[in-house]
Amino acid sequence: MTVPFVDLSRQHAPLREELGAAFDRVLGASSFVLGTEVEAFEARFAEYCGVSHCVGVGSGTAALTIMLRAAGIGAGDEVIVPAHTFIATALAVMHAGARPICVDVERGTGLIDPAAVRAAVGPRTAAVIAVHLYGQACAIDELHAIAEPNGIQLFEDAAQSQGAEYRGRRAGALGRAAAFSFYVSKNLGALGDAGAICTDDDDVAAAARALRDLGRRDGRHVSAGYNERLDGLQAACLSVKLPHLDDWNTSRRRLAAAYRERLAGGVELVEEKPESPSIHHLFPIRTADRDLLAARVAERGVSTGVHYDTALPDQPALAELRDTDTPVAREWAATELSLPIFAELSTDELETVCTAVTESL
């Protein structure tokens, strides 16, 4: 048996008629950029997250950049980000004109370490981005306790956490604003690139709507914006998928529980905190010889991934951060291996993965 890392065809097959109807609806209305389908999805996703506003954009990276600019982050500002994350988190800070400051992460979760955030706060610190990596929300209460007394804005990078919760509140409603990615492989994925900004802040939402549309407001271009409008087709397809998201996340949790039971003691598993149950966008394990294990399970037909093999300070594009002391993030980069997890993964496939891992150690 071969086991794919992800198989989107299994998700799309039962939705084929609904997705086809959505395509026909968009085609019939010729509403291809923004328009009623985008507005409808924005309303539905805002309600799902428990916020007042959702602003659809072209990608998760665009969502991060526009979110920061809409909240006034720019030149002269420093923004604290975790050293273990996808590079888009730091690039968005740079695209907004600010400077990323990398801090270390928790060894058990890979999430931003509040103690490291507190130590990094300086006179130019304007914001912190909490990245809900792998589908688990960060320690939001601890981060708020650092940010609020210092006048620092707290944002969410929720690219991997559609439907995740922290103490009963959904990701997207935990800071001043949140950026989502709907890249194809996400728990809620489009049929291409797409993203969104969620917020309860009327001013941030209004600024984001202008910035995504080349800075346009009331027919005039009032700021130097971006061409990052959400496509009507992507919005329509996301509206088809959204009602299934909670069921898909439930399936991921069931699969993750089975993995944890079968793999306990053989490899290092991510710590799960009761206040922030993961929706398991990914299922990472950690092992000293990650590359060897990946090669051995590949010989048995099991596909894996690595998220991520380079800490942010070691990325060539972020050379100015090279001397940042983030040993835990670098350890994650050297040891993390992601096993297949998607809602339609079968019990037999999961068993094949577990056998391949345990017999390859």
- 3 lies in some domain: no
- Kindly state whether residues 140 and 230 are assigned to the same domain: yes
Identify the sign of the CA torsion 139, 145, 146, 147.
positive
CA-wise closest residue to 308 among 120, 137, 89: 89
Give yes or no: residues 254 and 236 share one domain.
no
d(CA 128, CA 143): 8
**How far is Cα 307 from Cα 335, in angstroms, rounded to an integer?**
10
Let me know whether 260 and 351 are in one domain: yes
Q: What are the structure tokens assigned to 181, written together? A: 């990615």
Residue at a domain's end among 243, 269, 298: 243
> Based on the structure, what is the number of domains in the chain?
2
Pair (309, 169) in one structural domain = no
Task: Give pLDDT, residue 34.
Answer: 87
Cis-peptide into 308, omega within 30 deg: yes
Whether residue 230 sits in one domain with residue 158 = yes
219 shares its domain with 271? no
- Over residues 270-309, the pLDDT tens digits come to 999 999 999 999 999 999 999 999 999 999 999 999 999 9
Strands 99-103 and 78-82: parallel
List, for residues 153-212, the tens digit of each pLDDT value: 999 999 999 999 999 999 999 999 999 999 999 999 999 999 999 999 999 999 999 999
Query: What percentage of the chain's residues is helix, strand, coil (to nearest 5)?
Result: 45, 20, 35
pLDDT digits (tens, 9 = 90+) for 82-120: 999 999 999 999 999 999 999 999 999 999 999 999 999
Q: In this model, does residue 6 exceed pLDDT 90?
A: yes
Domain that residue 329 falls in: 244-358
- The CATH number of residue 22's host domain is 3.40.640.10
DSSP secondary structure of 327-352? HHHHHHHHHEEEEP--TT--HHHHHH
Amino acid type, 12? H
Quick one: how far is CA 39 from the chain centroid? 22
* DSSP 8-state assignment for residue 230: P
Both 184 and 250 in one domain: the answer is no
Q: Let me know whether 277 and 296 are in one domain.
A: yes
3-state class of 225 per DSSP? coil
